[in-house]
Amino acid sequence: MITKDAEISAPVVPAPEPAAPQQWPRKTRRAWDEAPRWQIYLPLGSYLLFTLIPFYWILLFALRPAGSTSLVPWPMTFEHFEKVWTERSFGTYFQNSVLIGVATLVMTTVIALAGGYALARFDFRVKRGFLLALLCSQFVPGALLLVPLFQIFAKLQMINSLGSVVIAETVFQLPLSMILISGFIRNVPYSLEEAAWVDGCNRFTAFRIVVLPLLRPGLIAVGSFAFVHAWNHFLFALMFLSNQDKQTIPVGLNTLMSADSVDLGALAAGGIIAAVPVVVVFAFIQKWLITGFSAGAVKG
């Protein structure tokens, strides 16, 4: 039993002092870390200004009245857009470009998906040679394909048909699209398909249920690239389409320029009509586009 005197005479143990906070080594600052902000923003602002001035100049010519020399598009007018859309048949050109672009997108994506899966999942004797041929085909300019394609389309009676341009654009886009999709499929674990086979799926069903949803960024990247190239390509549409009601927007823009004079207002309005759909598409798909191209380039 502890008495009261024992409690009083017991030594008092001092409380431990709190530990000092750990001192992390200070990061050495380099010379460029201490640069003033103006040295960063000035080059970026100059580059942004250099990039945006041409766009402003196009808007200026498209929105100000004909004959005006003002640097501000005021009073604003849309007469140039009405002129190119109705008098210059840009409404028909726009429709033809949309049909060619969408058809090229679908055909390129479907064929490249089948070919890319074969390159990624199967081994065959001429695989390396086939991949080398695909890579070498990227060094062939489109102008070299005009004569053989024209002869083929002439025998098939497809000259002056939108289908001829769609086939030519698809042939031109397939090598790169197939390489990108094959690289993206390689990033999908093969064990996922094997697990689907064990559950009773065949190869096509396993690909559709398991692999295809994971390929969405790659398919968007390949499809958008094919669409934009078909939308902007000038050479195939000029050579294979002769009637005015079959022409595309790039060819229509070329008709606005003559040897004697150039209607700058109409040309600027036509350029904006040609650029707006591509800008809108890229604004919605930029997230998947960057992911798809980076993933498809990891393994090829």
pLDDT of 28-73, one tens digit each? Answer: 555 555 667 877 888 888 888 888 888 888 888 888 887 777 787 7
pLDDT bin (cut points 50, 70, 90) of residue 112 is very high
CATH of domain 76-293: 1.10.3720.10
- Please give the single-letter amino acid code of residue 18: P
Query: What's the pLDDT score for residue 20?
Result: 55
Query: What's the pLDDT score for residue 110?
Result: 92
Q: Does a cis peptide bond (omega within 30 degrees of 0) precede residue 75?
A: yes
The pLDDT of 243-247, averaged and rounded, is 86
- Please give the single-letter amino acid code of residue 42: L
The count of residues in the chain is 300
pLDDT higher than 50, residue 106: yes
Query: What's the pLDDT score for residue 91?
Result: 87
Report helix, strand or coil for 74: coil
pLDDT higher than 90, residue 297: no
Average pLDDT, the chain: 80
The pLDDT of 255-282, averaged and rounded, is 82
pLDDT higher than 80, residue 8: no
Is there a contact between 172 and 138 (Cβ–Cβ < 8 Å)?
no
The pLDDT of 93-121, averaged and rounded, is 91
The residue extents of the domains of the chain are 76-293
pLDDT higher than 70, residue 4: no
- Specify which of 90-104, 175-189, 214-228, 274-288 reaches the highest per-range mean pLDDT: 90-104
pLDDT higher than 60, residue 9: no
Residue 279: count other Cβ atoms within 10 Å of its Cβ: 9
The larger pLDDT score, comparing residue 106 to residue 30, is at: 106
The 10s digit of each residue's pLDDT in 176-217 is: 889 888 888 888 888 888 888 888 888 888 888 888 888 888
pLDDT bin (cut points 50, 70, 90) of residue 103 is very high
> Taking CA 106 as the corner, what is the angle to CA 102 and CA 112, rounded to the nearest 5 degrees?
140
The larger pLDDT score, comparing residue 7 to residue 264, is at: 264
pLDDT higher than 70, residue 22: no
Residue 182: count other Cβ atoms within 10 Å of its Cβ: 24
The pLDDT of 130-156, averaged and rounded, is 85
Q: What secondary structure letter does DSSP report for 78?
A: -
pLDDT higher than 60, residue 85: yes
The pLDDT of 151-179, averaged and rounded, is 89
Q: How far apart are CA 61 and CA 64, in angstroms?
A: 6
Closest to 109 in 3D by CA, of 47, 46, 181: 181
Q: If you count DSSP H runs as helices and E runs as strands, how many of each does the chain have, helices first?
A: 13, 0
Contacts of residue 169, Cβ cutoff 8 Å, sequence gap at least 6: 100, 104, 108, 226, 229, 230, 233, 236
pLDDT higher than 50, residue 17: yes
pLDDT higher than 60, residue 1: no
Contacts of residue 206, Cβ cutoff 8 Å, sequence gap at least 6: 193, 196, 197
Q: How far apart are CA 100 and CA 79, in angstroms?
A: 28
Q: How far apart are CA 59 and CA 74, in angstroms?
A: 11
Q: DSSP string covering 98-151, please? A: HHHHHHHHHHHHHHHHHHHHHHHH---TTHHHHHHHHHHHTTS-GGGGHHHHHH
pLDDT higher than 50, residue 231: yes
pLDDT higher than 50, residue 300: no
Which pair of structure tokens corresponds to residue 220? 């968007």
Percent of the chain with pLDDT over 90: 10
